[in-house]
Amino acid sequence: MVFEEISADEDEIWKIKEILIDEWNETKYGERPTIALITEYKGVNVRDEGDFIFIYESSFTESQVDFPYNFVDRSVVVTFDIRHYNEFPEDGRKRLNQLKNGLLDILYRKRKSLLGYNTHLVIQSRNDLSDKLNNLYRYIFLVRYTRHAIALEENEVIS
């Protein structure tokens, strides 16, 4: 028997990316940053290429609801990694806050309907990882989205 690695649908991560691109409000939060999956930009130099919001899956859990037995809840933790470089510290912090507020605005507006009617979002943690010595501003959000009551196929077994 071969076991496949269970992870979030790549399509779901793409949908989140497309929602962020479509919903970004340039008049309120400035120029839209490059929003991409982390796998699309390996080894990127933020100093040369501008602002980024990288998206990647951090963890995946699946739990079986008590009744009925053929449904599960799937929770995926998605990391949003905001990166900005600016030679002037006061401008860098201001721009990082714009990017952070733009992302939060979209997440809060789409909290209950990001990937369909049976999902919800919870922001688990926020971390400021800025390197002020090198003028690199970075902020990370860990966001858990849960899809409730997903029907199992006949050949799937949860133990």
- Tens digit of pLDDT for each residue in 32-58? 998 888 888 777 777 777 889 999 888
C-alpha 50/C-alpha 58 separation (Å) is 24
Q: What is the pLDDT of residue 59?
A: 83
Q: pLDDT category, 140, cuts 50, 70, 90?
A: very high
- 10-151: in CATH 3.30.2000.10: yes
CA 138 to chain centre: 15
- Tens digit of pLDDT for each residue in 78-109? 999 999 988 777 788 899 999 999 999 998 88
Q: What is the pLDDT of residue 6?
A: 41
N- to C-terminal Cα separation, the chain: 16
Domain ranges of the chain: 10-151
Q: pLDDT category, 159, cuts 50, 70, 90?
A: very low
Mean pLDDT for the stretch of residues 127-139: 88
Q: Which of 151, 150, 144 is nearest to 59 (CA)?
A: 144
